[in-house]
Amino acid sequence: MEEKFKILFLPDDKEFEVTAGISVLQAAGMAGVELDGPCGGNGTCGKCRVRVMKEQGGAQWALACKTIIDRDMTVEIPQLEVSVHRKNELTLADLNVQIDSGISAKVVTVSKPSLENQHPDAKRFLIAMDNDTLELGTEVLRALPKTVRDKEAKGMVTAILCGNKVLAVEAGDTSQRLYGIAVDIGTTSVVVALMDLRSGETVAIASAGNPQTTFGADVIARIEHVMNNEDGLEVLNRRVIKTINRLTEKLAQDIGITPMEIYQMTMVGNTTMSHLFMKIDPTYLAVSPFIPVVSERVWFEARELNIEIAPQAPVYVTPSVAGYVGGDTIGVIMSTDIYQKKGIYLAIDIGTNGELVLSRDGEMASCSTAAGPAFEGAQIKFGMRAADGAIEKVTILENGEVEIGVIGNQPPKGICGSGLMDVVSEMARAGVIDSTGRLCTAENPGDLPPALQKRLGSNEEYGPYFILSFAEDNMGEEVVLTQKDVRELQLAKAALAAGIQVLLQHFNLSAQDLDEVLLAGAFGSYINKYSALGIGLLPAIDANKINSVGNAAGTGARMELISQEIRQEAEKVARRVEHLELSTRADFQEYFINCLSF
Amino acid sequence: MEEKFKILFLPDDKEFEVTAGISVLQAAGMAGVELDGPCGGNGTCGKCRVRVMKEQGGAQWALACKTIIDRDMTVEIPQLEVSVHRKNELTLADLNVQIDSGISAKVVTVSKPSLENQHPDAKRFLIAMDNDTLELGTEVLRALPKTVRDKEAKGMVTAILCGNKVLAVEAGDTSQRLYGIAVDIGTTSVVVALMDLRSGETVAIASAGNPQTTFGADVIARIEHVMNNEDGLEVLNRRVIKTINRLTEKLAQDIGITPMEIYQMTMVGNTTMSHLFMKIDPTYLAVSPFIPVVSERVWFEARELNIEIAPQAPVYVTPSVAGYVGGDTIGVIMSTDIYQKKGIYLAIDIGTNGELVLSRDGEMASCSTAAGPAFEGAQIKFGMRAADGAIEKVTILENGEVEIGVIGNQPPKGICGSGLMDVVSEMARAGVIDSTGRLCTAENPGDLPPALQKRLGSNEEYGPYFILSFAEDNMGEEVVLTQKDVRELQLAKAALAAGIQVLLQHFNLSAQDLDEVLLAGAFGSYINKYSALGIGLLPAIDANKINSVGNAAGTGARMELISQEIRQEAEKVARRVEHLELSTRADFQEYFINCLSF
């Protein structure tokens, strides 16, 4: 018989019995405990760090994927970091949208029943509403008897309406409390914006990592998880829904409302994220011919998706263009206004995939490239999110000295996407890598200054590498960039640059014709555009034409939330964008090879 | 500290820990184990009989309500008796209805995706359907990818449609399998009819006791349970839903389909049953001014109610007239056709309540009387359902001999509703009770023949009683009718008779004006109309005008299931019926007192 051990996960207090020999990360997966492991248990990403309790008291940090269960254990999972920003901390520009969310409140007084007025509650309510064609859903009928009999409200009832449907009824006048959430599900993080549906203001925003990451860093890994596990779709769906609920609850708490006062939700995300959100099998997105199940906009009720807001609140899933050009791209198009502006615009949303849209006077084409998670610091030896301790800026001085900027001014622990692009750009400029991307080695340092030569190293684990930060210099850990890291970035930037070329070619344009390049996504906000130009990620154009537009996909979701018109436009736009499938194009292959060099 | 014991319920295999001193019935309630206890734990109804396992092996029958837990116990609950009748055993007349259920099937072939045809599954499906305005719900979207890729079906898909909505998609041509269920939720039993929506035929019918009975025999007791228990509504709802699911599964199994091939459901029941079915608080039905939450027809999706048929199948809850004149009465009106027939008709649905409708050329009025469960054998000392061993017929011969008819020709165990009415009618005729309902006693036997005198008895437990069946005569138990039993029936019949008087008076009619009296309900089928006339339950009219119409409420549900027109008519009828609230009428009190005598 196989040996069994008990493992207790904190702070969930979940106990699970496992067969000896599996890792803590695997056990967490089986127990349904959320734990990040984007590298797939290779011990390379360091994101599955947990605290293993010692028998004699105290605890010790360890990688869950490398900790094999050989006894009864208690393991503490560091909690999902949720960051919340209130309105006064947000620097969001007001949305330039006519407010018309489709949700409204009406306050009426429902008559008291008596032996002379034996009308049912529903009937007396409809009489008060002066409209007996209104639809009352399950939840409204269930809430009605208590609501109309509330002692303090004395028959006063607030009805929340969406078209001809009553979404909710509340005792008293609560018409001042009318909220919605706009949700942006990224492959690596989830952002929820709480909005006042009356004023259109964004009241607060909360974000956290996407806990699906445990099952792989990119969309392909997630889809593979669904293909290979009977409960894969269920688990991935549950995780993201749980995160949305947790963020929403946090936001509601923060401003003193209940999640039940949230009556509408809009959602943007890439096609895989949308499918997983809807619990729809994304399998066929991953295999040629890359077919989504649905790309038209979909309306759900919140309860169908287990979203814990008003149960009958409509949930709007933004339409998408094609397999890899999803609702997030539609969000970018809507918020940048390029679908109706005169001029030639290139919008780039860089995440784990790179989605590109080129618009010429509102005529649009799109494509998607497997930019890869390199841009987000994943699959990079010392890659990490843009958090405290991440190297985000790198300059190599004339004399070979390396200056680094670290988030939070702390000892460096790793490197994030923008730092990565900086360092590769600087290494190319300084000759630490040649135009083919090959790293100089200590044995073959070319004519590098000594200050750079001493940073070259090689060992069995890393292969050839470049030391970004010496442990002794910065009171931190040694942080290096390996040859393999450079290759990851090189492949990603070549794919993106080739995609841009295909789009330009499609319109018979050259890079110089572009009026503006819009960089969307969190990464777009942090990127040093000179580095991006330096490594050839962006075509050689005037740097002044390159602008970051922040979380444009999320902004699109916020606009959709407060405007029926924007939603209707988004549906038209989704049908209008021409999609170029790169995987079958010979010209893409050609451009890709040409774009590989630095 | 209180002593705790473990109780294991079979066959559910549910273990539950309880504090010493509570009864097995109470423990079953807490553990969520279904167990009948209509008398509320008084030990009088005998319906909570369970098998208590002995430590030394073997088992022993005991009343759960009278068995106090004083040790760890294993208790076996006799299983819900489900009876199923297949089409060839059913004696139902074909429904005289144009078949137009609103549900249809369409078979199409969905194109294969390719790099040249990258349309999403949903789009290709809608193209095949030649209608891109169709609504695809969650479940359809979730089922679509597998369905269109089914190896054997080669793209052939059957779409189940309800108006503009696609309810389900299935691989291959399944258009021949289109089913629905018509459900009649009675206070004491639940009947599910499985129908072929194409032919309109009733394929099979299954019935079982309503397991809510554990919480009280009549609707008032059920409502009180909801009022007094936080999870009362939840529990009563869950029980009836579970029973419907179990019956439906049984029916589906029986004819070789899956419950997922059932695409529509209609439901009739009294107002309390409808509220509990919808999980809507029925509290205000029980207190003056007797207000339902909703009486209009309601449409749900099956999944909203946890009904385990096609998740998005529409579920139609029949409208009701007033607090105590529910969808079951509408069902009776629809199936007897009295809403549109010329003539004067009185329909009586006798269950735990008595619902009355009088129609004069389609002009209708209704009222409801607390007929009480006496007519169903509850709250009667030896009362039982019309099952094997129940005395259903009683005749007192000239010489004082008593002849009884027992269901299943078995030794008598108790008396059912029809037997009860027979015996009281016969006792009144033979002078065993006087016109005020008082029972002769052994001390004061009047001029009864000796054969009757020897049947008179009295003891501390029963009070005065009449022996229906001697233990030695029939190899069974002694079955008696007590003075209290006579009173129960007397009150019930007076209420019903007085209700009839009020209705007649309302139309300025006398009993002689009636063209027909229609007796609905299972009880109506078994009743001896001469006995009903004999005790004054029915007004003195020609017995030929009194006809049983069987389970007319259930027939109404079946008609609604296969006809949109009948559903529309039902909604109009529900608004047209005038409701007379008896509780406030002085004339009702007057009639009631006059109708008490035999």
Contact residues of B toward A, CB < 8 A: 113-115, 117-123, 136, 138, 141-142, 144-146, 149, 278-281, 283-284, 288-296, 298, 300, 304-305, 322-323, 579, 581, 583-584
Q: Which CB contacts under 8 angstroms, 24+ apart, belong to B8-15?
A: B8/B72, B8/B73, B8/B74, B8/B75, B9/B33, B9/B75, B9/B76, B9/B77, B10/B74, B10/B75, B10/B76, B10/B77, B11/B76, B11/B77, B11/B79, B12/B77
As a whole number of angstroms, the distance between CA B109 and CA B124 comes to 10
pLDDT of residue B59: 79
**CATH class of residue range B179-317:** alpha beta
Burial (CB count <10 Å: 0-12, 13-18, 19+), residue B467:
middle
pLDDT of residue B51: 84
Smallest CA-to-CA distance from B30 within B62, B69, B81 is with B69
- Beta strand A314-317 pairing with A354-360: unpaired
Residues of chain A with CATH 3.10.20.880: 103-171
Going from the C-alpha of A202 to that of each of A86, A87, A520, the distances in angstroms are: 9, 7, 19
Smallest CA-to-CA distance from B577 within B351, B352, B324 is with B324
Residues of chain B neighbouring A115 (CB-CB closer than 8 A): 288-289, 581, 583-584
Q: How far is A33 from chain B (nearest CA, A)?
A: 25
CB contact under 8 A, A289 and B119: no
Smallest CA-to-CA distance from A328 within A349, A307, A298, A352 is with A349
- Does residue A108 contact residue A268 with C-beta atoms inside 8 Å? no
CB contact under 8 A, A278 and B138: yes
Q: What letters, b where the CB count within 10 A reaches 16 and e where it falls short, cover A62-94?
A: ebbbebebeeebbbbbeeeebebbeeeeeebee
Both structure tokens of A320: 């998408």
Nearest beta carbon to residue A142 from set B115, B145, B280: B280
Q: How far is B244 from chain A (nearest CA, A)?
A: 19
A115 to chain B: nearest residue by CA? B289
Both structure tokens of B291: 């207000």
CB contact under 8 A, B123 and A284: no
As a whole number of angstroms, the distance between CA A38 and CA B139 comes to 31
As a whole number of angstroms, the distance between CA B400 and CA A523 comes to 100
Residues of chain B with CATH 3.30.420.480: 179-317
Residues of chain A neighbouring B287 (CB-CB closer than 8 A): none
Q: What share of chain B is helix, strand, coil (3-state, %, to 5)?
A: 35, 25, 40
Q: What letters, b where the CB count within 10 A reaches 16 and e where it falls short, cover B281-311?
A: bbbbbbeebbbbbbbbbbebbbbbbebbbbb
Q: Which CB contacts under 8 angstroms, 24+ apart, belong to A51-59?
A: A51/A75, A51/A76, A51/A78, A52/A24, A52/A76
The answer for residues whose C-beta is within 8 angstroms of residue B417's C-beta and 6 or more apart is: B374, B375, B376, B377, B383, B386, B523, B526, B527
pLDDT of residue A3: 82
The answer for residues whose C-beta is within 8 angstroms of residue B51's C-beta and 6 or more apart is: B59, B60, B61, B62, B75, B76, B78
| pLDDT tens readout for residues B398-427 | 999 999 999 888 889 899 888 999 999 999
pLDDT of residue A116: 84
Nearest beta carbon to residue B293 from set A144, A293, A322: A144
Nearest beta carbon to residue B584 from set A115, A145, A289: A115
Of A374 and B168, more confident: B168
Residues of chain A neighbouring B294 (CB-CB closer than 8 A): 120-123, 136, 141, 144
- Record the pTM: 0.83
Residue B82 above 80 pLDDT?
Answer: no
Residues of chain B neighbouring A149 (CB-CB closer than 8 A): 284
A275 to chain B: nearest residue by CA? B142
| pLDDT tens readout for residues B262-292 | 999 999 999 999 999 999 999 999 888 889 9
Helix/strand/coil (H/E/C) assignment for every residue in A211-276: HHHHHCCCHHHHHHHHHHCCCHHHHHHHHHHHHHHHHHHHHHHHHCCCHHHEEEEEEEECHHHHHH
Residue listed under structure tokens 């319109």:
A507
CB contact under 8 A, A118 and B581: yes
CB atoms closer than 10 angstroms to residue A542: 11
Crossing angle for the helix pair B138-148 and B121-129, nearest 10 degrees?
90
pLDDT of residue B361: 97
Both structure tokens of B282: 């029925």
Residues of chain A with CATH 3.10.20.30: 4-76
The percentage of residues in chain B with a pLDDT greater than 70, rounded to a whole number, is: 95
Q: Which CB contacts under 8 angstroms, 24+ apart, belong to A384-387?
A: A384/A46, A384/A413, A384/A414, A384/A415, A384/A416, A385/A188, A385/A209, A385/A416, A386/A416, A386/A417, A386/A418, A386/A522, A386/A526, A387/A416
Contact residues of A toward B, CB < 8 A: 113-115, 117-123, 136, 138, 141-142, 144-146, 149, 278-281, 283-284, 288-296, 298, 300, 304-305, 322-323, 579, 581, 583-584
Going from the C-alpha of B6 to that of each of A513, B10, B55, B62, B210, the distances in angstroms are: 80, 13, 14, 18, 28
As a whole number of angstroms, the distance between CA B388 and CA B378 comes to 16
Going from the C-alpha of A195 to that of each of A192, A304, A331, B279, B426, the distances in angstroms are: 10, 22, 17, 32, 76
CB atoms closer than 10 angstroms to residue A107: 14
B582 to chain A: nearest residue by CA? A115
Mean pLDDT of B95-120: 93
Nearest beta carbon to residue B293 from set A120, A295, A581: A120
CA Rg value for chain B: 27
Helix/strand/coil (H/E/C) assignment for every residue in A99-138: CECCEEEEEEECCCCECCECCCHHHHHHHHHCCCCCEECH
As a whole number of angstroms, the distance between CA A416 and CA B533 comes to 92
CB contact under 8 A, B145 and A280: yes
ipTM of the complex as predicted: 0.83
Please report which helix (H) or strand (E) contains residue B501, including its range. helix B483-506
Mean pLDDT of B76-103: 81
Please report which helix (H) or strand (E) contains residue B504, including its range. helix B483-506
pLDDT of residue B376: 66
Both structure tokens of A329: 């791209």
Nearest beta carbon to residue B121 from set A278, A293, A581: A293
Residues of chain B neighbouring A581 (CB-CB closer than 8 A): 115, 118
Report chain B's mean pLDDT, rounded to a whole number. 90
Crossing angle for the helix pair A483-506 and A586-595, nearest 10 degrees?
130
CB contact under 8 A, B292 and A120: yes
Report the SS3 class of residue A282.
coil
The answer for residues whose C-beta is within 8 angstroms of residue A470's C-beta and 6 or more apart is: A478
Residue B544 above 60 pLDDT?
Answer: yes
Q: Where are the beta strands (DSSP E) in B77-164?
A: 83-86, 103-109, 135-136, 156-162
Confidence category of residue B513, pLDDT binned at 50, 70, 90: very high
- Does residue B118 contact residue A322 with C-beta atoms inside 8 Å? yes
Residue B1 above 60 pLDDT?
Answer: no
The percentage of residues in chain B with a pLDDT greater than 90, rounded to a whole number, is: 62
As a whole number of angstroms, the distance between CA B573 and CA B111 comes to 47
User: For domain A103-171, is the CATH number 3.60.20.10?
Assistant: no
The answer for residues whose C-beta is within 8 angstroms of residue B561's C-beta and 6 or more apart is: B101, B180, B181, B182, B193, B195, B197, B264, B265, B266, B316
Q: What are phi and psi of A399, to 5 degrees?
A: -80, 5
Q: How far is A154 from chain B (nearest CA, A)?
A: 17
Residue B580 above 80 pLDDT?
Answer: yes
Smallest CA-to-CA distance from A350 within A188, A154, A514 is with A188
CB contact under 8 A, B584 and A283: no
Smallest CA-to-CA distance from B496 within B375, B332, B394 is with B375
| pLDDT tens readout for residues B545-554 | 999 998 899 9
Question: Is the backbone peptide bond immediately before A11 cis, with ω within 30 degrees of 0?
Answer: yes
- DSSP letter for each residue of B289-327: T---S--S-EEEEGGGGT--SSTT-EEEEPP-SBTTB-H
Residue listed under structure tokens 């608004």:
B575
CB contact under 8 A, A289 and B322: no
Report the SS3 class of residue B374.
helix
Residue listed under structure tokens 């599954």:
B121
- Beta strand B179-185 pairing with B262-269: parallel
Residue B227 above 90 pLDDT?
Answer: yes
As a whole number of angstroms, the distance between CA A544 and CA A522 comes to 20
Residues of chain A neighbouring B144 (CB-CB closer than 8 A): 293-294
CB contact under 8 A, A323 and B144: no
Smallest CA-to-CA distance from B241 within B265, B271, B217 is with B265
| pLDDT tens readout for residues B130-157 | 998 999 989 999 999 999 999 999 999 9
Successive 10-residue mean pLDDT values, chain A, 598 residues: 82 81 85 71 72 80 86 81 78 83 98 90 97 92 97 97 96 97 93 96 93 82 92 93 95 95 97 96 91 93 96 96 86 95 94 88 92 69 84 92 91 88 93 93 89 93 92 78 92 92 96 95 79 90 92 94 97 94 88 91
Q: What CATH number matches the domain at B4-76, 2.60.120.560, 3.20.20.370, 3.10.20.30, 3.30.950.10?
A: 3.10.20.30
Confidence category of residue B94, pLDDT binned at 50, 70, 90: confident
Q: What strands lie across the sheet with B4-10, from one edge to the other?
A: B14-19, B4-10, B73-76, B49-53, B59-63
Report the SS3 class of residue A55.
coil
Residue listed under structure tokens 């890869």:
A372
| pLDDT tens readout for residues B286-333 | 888 889 999 999 999 999 999 999 999 999 999 998 767 899 999 999
pLDDT of residue B96: 83
The residue type of B39 is C
Mean pLDDT of B562-578: 96
Nearest beta carbon to residue B120 from set A117, A136, A294: A294
Half-sphere exposure of A309 (CA within 13 A, CB side): 33
